[in-house]
Structure 1
Amino acid sequence: MHRLVITPLVGCALFPFSACAMMLTDNLQLELKPQVVSDYRSRGLSMTLGNPAAQLEATVIHSSGAYAGVWTSNVDFGMNLKTRLEQDFYAGFFIPLNDDVSLDVGYLKYTYANEAQLNMSEVYVILKAYGFKFGSNYSSDLKTFVGKDQETLYSYLGYSHDIVDKVGLEVRYGRFDFKDDVFLSNSGKARGDYREWEAKLTRSAFGVNWGLSYIDTDLSKSECASYYASTDVCAATVVVSASKTF
Structure 2
Amino acid sequence: MKHTANALIALLPLFAAVTAQAVTLNENFDLALSAEVVSDYRSRGQSQTLGDPALQASATLSHSSGLYAGVWTSNVDFGFDIKTRQEIDYYAGYFWQINDDISLDVGYAKYAYERSGGLNYAETYAIFSAYGVQLGHQYSDNFGTNQEDSYSWTYLGYETSLPLETTLSLRYGLVDYKDDVLISSSGNTGSRYHEWEAKVSKELVGLNWGLSYVDTDISDSECASYLGFDDVCEATVVASVGKSF
For Structure 1 versus Structure 2, the TM-score category normalised by the shorter chain is over 0.9
Write out aligned runs for 1:149-188 (5 A).
Answer: 149-188=148-187
State the distance in 1 between where 2:202 and 2:9 align. 26
The reply on whether 1:136 has 2:143 as its aligned counterpart is: no
State the distance in 1 between where 2:142 and 2:19 align. 31
Offset at 1:148? 4.3
Q: In percent, how many aligned pairs have the same letter?
A: 52
| Structure 1 SS opposite 2:224 | helix
State the distance in 2 between where 1:158 and 1:5 align. 15
| Aligned AA (1:93) | Y
Number of aligned positions between the proteins: 237
Q: Tell me the alpha carbon deviations over residues 183-213 of structure 1, each in whole angstroms, 9 at most, x when there is no partner.
A: 1011110000111000001111001110000
Say whether the 8 Å CA contact 1:36–1:242 is kept in structure 2.
yes
For structure 2, which runs of at least 5 residues remain unmatched after alignment? 1-7
| Aligned AA (1:100) | D
Q: Tell me the alpha carbon deviations over residues 31-83 of structure 1, each in whole angstroms, 9 at most, x when there is no partner.
A: 10000000000100100000000000000010111000000000000121010
Say whether the 8 Å CA contact 2:54–2:76 is kept in structure 1.
yes
| Structure 1 SS opposite 2:77 | coil
Say whether the 8 Å CA contact 2:45–2:216 is kept in structure 1.
yes
Q: Tell me the alpha carbon deviations over residues 91-114 of structure 1, each in whole angstroms, 9 at most, x when there is no partner.
A: 000001111110000000000001
Q: In terms of mean alpha carbon deviation, does 47-56 or 135-144 score higher?
A: 135-144
**2:12: which partner in 1?**
5
| Aligned AA (2:95) | F
**2:239: which partner in 1?**
240
The reply on whether 1:55 has 2:45 as its aligned counterpart is: no
Greater RCO (CA < 8 Å, at least 6 residues apart) = 2
| Structure 2 SS opposite 1:135 | strand
| Structure 2 SS opposite 1:223 | helix
Say whether the 8 Å CA contact 1:32–1:245 is kept in structure 2.
yes
| Aligned AA (2:44) | R
Runs of 4+ in 1 over 4 A off after TM superposition: none
**1:16: which partner in 2?**
none
| Structure 1 SS opposite 2:12 | coil
Say whether the 8 Å CA contact 2:209–2:240 is kept in structure 1.
yes
The reply on whether 1:80 has 2:81 as its aligned counterpart is: yes
For structure 1, which runs of at least 5 residues remain unmatched after alignment? 13-19
Write out aligned runs for 1:4-153 (5 A).
Answer: 4-6=11-13, 7-11=15-19, 20-144=21-145, 148-153=147-152
| Aligned AA (1:2) | I
Say whether the 8 Å CA contact 2:169–2:200 is kept in structure 1.
yes
Offset at 1:26? 1.4
| Structure 1 SS opposite 2:187 | coil
Offset at 1:3? 1.8
RMSD of aligned alpha carbons:
1.2
**2:4: which partner in 1?**
none
TM-score, normalised to structure 2, is 0.94
Offset at 1:9? 4.8
